Every structure is written in C-alpha cells, then in structure tokens.
Structure 1
C-alpha cells in the first residue's frame, strides 16, 4: 500500500484505506482498521508486507514493494548491525585546541546590589520596617544625597 494522503480540510494526517478508497484513517488506527476492513472484502487478493503489516499490495506489486519498502532497512539493520550503516549519521568527534578556559571563574568581582546602592545615588525604599525606622532611613538617605552632591 502506498500511503497516499488525501486532500481537503484537516485531512493532512489521514491515510487512504487500500481496500476502500473512501475510507480515511488516522495512521495510528490503520492496523486496527485493516483487520476489520479485510473482513468486508474477502475476495480481494491483497498481501501484507513482511516488514510492515500496514503495507498492503496486490500479489503482482508485492515483489517490487519488498525491494523498495522503507521498513526493510530497519529489519536488516537489526539482523546485521555491523554490515549496515547506522540509521543516523554519527556526530563528528573532534577537539579544537583552544587557550580559553570557559570553566574558570572570570577575573571580574561579583556584583553586590546592596553595596552598589549604598555608594551610588539610587533611591531606595525600606520594606517591612516600622515607621520610626523608615523615618530614620529616609533622613540618612537625605544626608547621603546632600553630601554626594557637594562634590
């Protein structure tokens, strides 16, 4: 069976049944459908592919299909793993000499946002402090801003 996809809205993923061309089936349900549909067509001379049971062809076309079946390579790779090429190309393994060490820590010091805000002119807002502590904090901040502006 050549899996022909039918056109129309939302029919991209449906497969046409080899017994009845009107039947359109999801690929995941095809094996189940073929066993049920074969009972309705007992006189058809369809033969199942030895590599994939969802591939159905006439007796005359089966010999050509067995030669070109896409699932044949998986079976042969399973039977003869050393003589067949791998299914996926192996990634190239080569090392490039490099003087950089990406695992080493950078020479820059770490960033401390609290220390930065204390030294630079950044408006801060104390969260969760009682009113008296917030008042003292705001007064300290005013003095700090005034002292830094004099220079």
Structure 2
C-alpha cells in the first residue's frame, strides 16, 4: 500500500546561481564557480578576459578590469595588509576586562588527597594482588579473609 503523503522538493532558487563570465548561458552555483572557470576558459581561448588580482573568480574584459580593481570588495584585505594602521581591523577587537576573585586555583586544597590504598584497606573492597608469586598471593588472600571476618563482626 502506497502512502498518500507525497513529498515535494522545491526546485533550486534561480537567485543563488551565478552567470559565467565567458558564456552568460552557463548558470552555476557559487561553490562551483572556480572549478567551472578553469574548464570554461579552455573552451574560450580567444576571449579577452582578465582575472582580478584580488580574487581569481572575478573575471572581466580588458576594458572593465581597471574599474573593477578600484571597487573590488577583496581589495580591502590587501589594503589592510599594506597599511594596518590606517584601516580599521576586519573584526572588532574584543574588549579586555578583568574579574577580581579571591579564589586561588593553584593553592593546595585544605583537605587531604584521596588515597585509594587506604580506602580499600578500611572498607569491604575485594582486592587481587597482581604480579606476586603464588605463596605471596596465598598469604594475601588469607589476610583478606581475616580482615573481612573482623569487619563483619561489627
């Protein structure tokens, strides 16, 4: 039995597509532009198109490139690099602030640190000696039996 709810997929928006500078009939996504330009440039060897020195995906005719270089949005990166004092930074600097506190995280805590060996010896924790010879393991198990019997009397 087929479901009556059919999903419809919206067609891609034509506003997100960019026209190729070599052939205006080519419409492509901005993420595919750089790849497409290398392929399309081979198909149009006689076109007199020039790449922008600030962004390789900006391609203009020889007559229009000078006006583009003056208004290219990627030019600001070069200007900021050449004259770092004259232009404002690309991102505003974070405000510096100090928080006064009486806590000292580097100081030792006022309590004793945890000793797992002492805890295991004073509570009902089953331990297994590792790396000891059989006679030492036998003695250890006997001591543990006595310890559990003494604690269970309370």
Question: CA 1:18 to 1:150, structure 2 compared with 1: closer, same or farther past 3 Å?
Answer: same
Give TM-score scaled by structure 1 length.
0.68
- Number of residues of Structure 1 aligned to a counterpart in Structure 2: 134
CA deviation after TM superposition for structure 1 residue 145, in Å: 0.8
| Residue 126 of structure 2: aligned partner | 123
Structure 1 unaligned residues grouped into runs of 5+: 1-6, 8-14
| Residue 59 of structure 2: aligned partner | 56
Which residue of 94, 97, 114 maps to 1:91?
Answer: 94
Which residue of 112, 115, 121 maps to 1:112?
Answer: 115
| Residue 6 of structure 2: aligned partner | none
Question: CA 1:79 to 1:141, structure 2 compared with 1: closer, same or farther past 3 Å?
Answer: same
CA deviation after TM superposition for structure 1 residue 125, in Å: 0.9
Structure 2 unaligned residues grouped into runs of 5+: 1-11, 13-17
Q: Are 1:103 and 2:106 an aligned pair?
A: yes
User: Residues of 2 paired with 1:89 and 1:43: CA distance?
Assistant: 45
Question: Residue by residue, what CA displacement relative to the aligned partner does 1:75-127 show, whole Å, maximum 9, x if unpaired?
Answer: 11122211111123322221111111122122221111111111111011111
| Residue 4 of structure 1: aligned partner | none
User: Residues of 2 paired with 1:28 and 1:38: CA distance?
Assistant: 11
| Residue 146 of structure 2: aligned partner | 143
Give TM-score scaled by structure 2 length.
0.67
User: Residues of 2 paired with 1:136 and 1:16: CA distance?
Assistant: 86
Question: Residue by residue, what CA displacement relative to the aligned partner does 1:32-91 show, whole Å, maximum 9, x if unpaired?
Answer: x27xx5464244343332422431034458736742x33111011122211111123322
DSSP 3-state at the match of 1:19? coil
Cα RMSD, aligned residues only: 3.3
Q: Are the aligned partners of 1:30 and 1:54 in contact in 2 as well (CA < 8 Å)? A: no
